[in-house]
Each structure stands twice: as structure tokens, then as C-alpha cells.
């Protein structure tokens, strides 16, 4: 569909407009080691407002995954929305594929912006990166939000049949779909009620725009996530944490939510949203935002002055 109308590209432009209209600007940071990170950042950082970093997962880019939440967050927070390495406009020539490296990259970008304290929120793979940031930089990360993020998984879970897939290779072929059949399977696993009757031309268009770059490197990210992973090796984080999960998640089964809650103890709140799959942020955005508001409430000034001059609670 490269020579005709692209629905995916058009929708991407709409999200681009939405982010710009909300007060964000597209930035690129060269970290000087062969690594370049793209990030949506506030047009003007305000020291009177807290900061939140929104980290995307696999699939469509960060704008698609976080757009719904921007309107509520922008008046209350300095909002930063990066592209992880090998997603969007971010890349590296380095060989490190761990979530720890992704976390290091994002922290260095935030330092370039002059950000001190922050809340980090991650969806799925982005939650692995958020958790790693909290572990590596406890003096900077104040709160953590993990949305359907199986950080407590172990390599043996795949052998034990916890997941719908039986190998890393199979998982990568679905998470980085290169055919309409694989994309349909990804939607089936990700949504409780997956879209039906999507024409193959739309699926091919989405794959062409969103899924054809850095396929090998993204596969390596998935491999690094699982290789020799043991719960006993997972570092403890002390930050107050909100865990949000869809009860019908077939990518990271709900057992991993309860495992994470047990690991975190009283410093975590676990919210299970009914009739939602792995992309709970897209399927049930109003409910996710409701819990996000409650969790972040003590970070937001009690009274906010809107552009029309009115104050609101």
C-alpha cells in the first residue's frame, strides 16, 4: 500500500497533531555512544509541576499507546513520552539489548532535560524498563506504574506452559508480525474482544508502517528479556507502585500480576480490570485513567488554574 492511501500513516499524523496540540514537542537526543533517543517533551518544563515519564510497549509507537491519557496529564505534569531503542526514531549501534540498557538511555535523556524527580509508567515491555529505572535510580524515581508488565516472569515459565507460545522465536514472530496472519494472532492474544473483519490491506499497511524496521533487533530484545531470568534475581524496588492488569490477559497471564504483588508487598496496589486483555490501556482507558488519577492524586496540586482562569479541584 506504499503507493496509495495509508490508514496507518494518516492515523499516525493525527496522533502527531494531538501531541503537538497538547503542548508537546518532538525532540532527538544524541547520547554520544551511537545511541539516539526520540522523545516527546513539554514545550516548556515547569518546575512547579511534577514530572511523569510514559514508556510504551511493543506494537504501535508511543503516541498510539498513550494518546488517550495526555489531555488529563498535561495540565498537571511535565509529560515526557520517549521512543525506546529500536522503536520509532530511536536506535543504537551498541549490542546491549537488556531492559537495563533501555532504562539507562531514558535516564540519560531525562538528565539532558534537567529533570530531577519523576514518576515512571510503563506498558507491557515498557514496564520492564520502568521497573529497571526504579531499581537503578531509586533517588530519582518516586513512583512506578506497571500496566500488564510481566516483570516477575521466569525463563522456566515458558517451559512450564504459562504462556500461549512455547518458544522465544514464536513470541517474537507474533510481537513483530510480518504477515496479516501473525498480526491477527497478536490482536487475538492482546484484546479480550479483538477487532473482527479487518481487511488484509489494512493489516498489511499497519505492518509496513509499524513493524518492518529493526525486526532482528526487536527479536533480540525479547530474547534478552527471558534469557536466564529468575524471580530470585529480580532487584527489589521500594517505590510506591500501581499494578494494573486485564483479567483476560493472554500475553502476560494474571498469575504474573499476583506474583508481582506478592513480591512488592504493601508498597504496591494491584488493580484487576474485568473483561480486558493485555492492551487494557486501549480496551478500558477510562478505567485505567480513573485508577491512574487516584494513584497520582497526592502528586498533583489540590487547585489547578486552567487557561480560562477558572480554578478546579
DSSP state at residue 247: T
Backbone φ, ψ for residue 305 (5° rounding): -100, 120
- Residue 130: count of CB within 10 angstroms of its CB: 32
Residue 288 near residue 277, CB atoms below 8 Å: no
Cβ count near 27 (within 10 Å): 16
Percent of the chain with pLDDT over 70: 94
Res. 269: pLDDT tops 50: yes
Question: pTM higher than 0.75, yes or no?
Answer: yes
Of the pLDDT bands very low, low, confident and very high (cuts 50, 70, 90), residue 300 is low
81 touches 54 (CB < 8 A): yes
| Amino acid 301: pLDDT | 61
Mean pLDDT over 220-236 rounds to: 95
Question: Per-residue confidence at 298, pLDDT binned at 50, 70, 90?
Answer: confident
Question: pLDDT tens across 30-57, in order?
Answer: 999 899 999 999 999 999 999 999 999 9
Instruction: Quick: pLDDT tens for 134-163.
Output: 999 999 999 999 999 999 999 999 989 999
Amino acid at each position: 500500500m506504499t503507493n496509495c492511501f495509508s490508514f496507518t500513516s494518516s492515523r499516525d499524523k493525527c496522533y502527531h497533531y494531538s501531541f503537538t496540540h497538547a503542548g508537546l514537542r518532538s525532540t532527538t537526543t544524541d547520547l554520544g555512544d551511537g545511541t539516539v533517543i526520540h522523545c516527546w517533551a513539554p514545550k516548556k518544563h515547569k518546575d512547579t509541576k511534577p514530572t511523569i515519564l510514559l514508556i510504551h510497549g511493543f506494537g504501535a509507537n508511543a503516541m498510539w499507546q498513550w494518546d488517550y491519557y495526555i489531555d488529563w496529564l498535561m495540565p498537571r505534569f511535565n509529560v515526557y513520552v520517549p521512543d525506546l531503542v529500536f522503536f520509532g526514531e530511536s536506535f543504537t549501534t551498541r549490542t546491549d539489548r537488556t531492559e537495563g540498557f533501555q532504562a539507562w538511555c531514558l535516564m540519560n535523556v531525562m538528565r539532558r532535560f534537567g529533570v530531577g524527580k519523576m514518576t515512571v509508567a510503563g506498558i507491557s515491555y515498557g514496564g520492564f524498563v520502568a521497573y529497571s529505572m526504579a531499581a537503578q535510580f531509586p533517588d530519582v524515581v518516586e513512583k512506578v506504574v506497571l500496566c500488564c508488565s510481566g516483570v516477575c516472569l521466569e525463563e522456566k515459565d515458558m517451559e512450564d506452559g504459562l504462556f500461549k507460545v512455547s518458544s522465544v522465536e514464536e513470541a517474537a514472530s507474533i510481537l513483530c508480525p510480518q504477515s496479516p496472519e501473525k498480526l491477527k494472532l497478536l490482536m487475538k492474544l492482546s484484546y479480550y474482544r479483538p477487532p473482527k473483519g479487518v481487511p488484509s490491506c489494512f493489516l498489511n499497511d499497519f505492518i509496513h508502517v509499524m513493524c518492518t524496521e529493526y525486526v532482528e533487533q526487536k527479536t533480540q530484545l525479547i530474547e534478552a528479556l527471558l534469557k536466564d531470568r529468575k524471580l530470585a534475581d529480580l532487584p527489589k524496588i521500594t517505590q510506591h507502585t500501581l499494578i494494573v492488569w486485564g483479567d483476560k490477559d493472554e500475553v502476560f497471564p494474571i498469575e504474573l500480576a499476583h506474583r508481582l504483588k506478592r513480591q512488592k508487598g504493601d508498597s504496591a496496589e494491584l488493580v484487576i480490570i474485568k473483561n480486558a486483555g493485555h492492551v487494557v490501556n486501549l480496551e478500558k482507558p477510562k478505567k485505567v485513567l480513573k485508577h491512574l488519577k487516584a494513584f497520582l492524586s497526592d502528586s498533583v496540586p489540590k487547585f489547578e488554574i486552567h487557561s480560562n482562569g477558572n480554578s478546579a479541584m
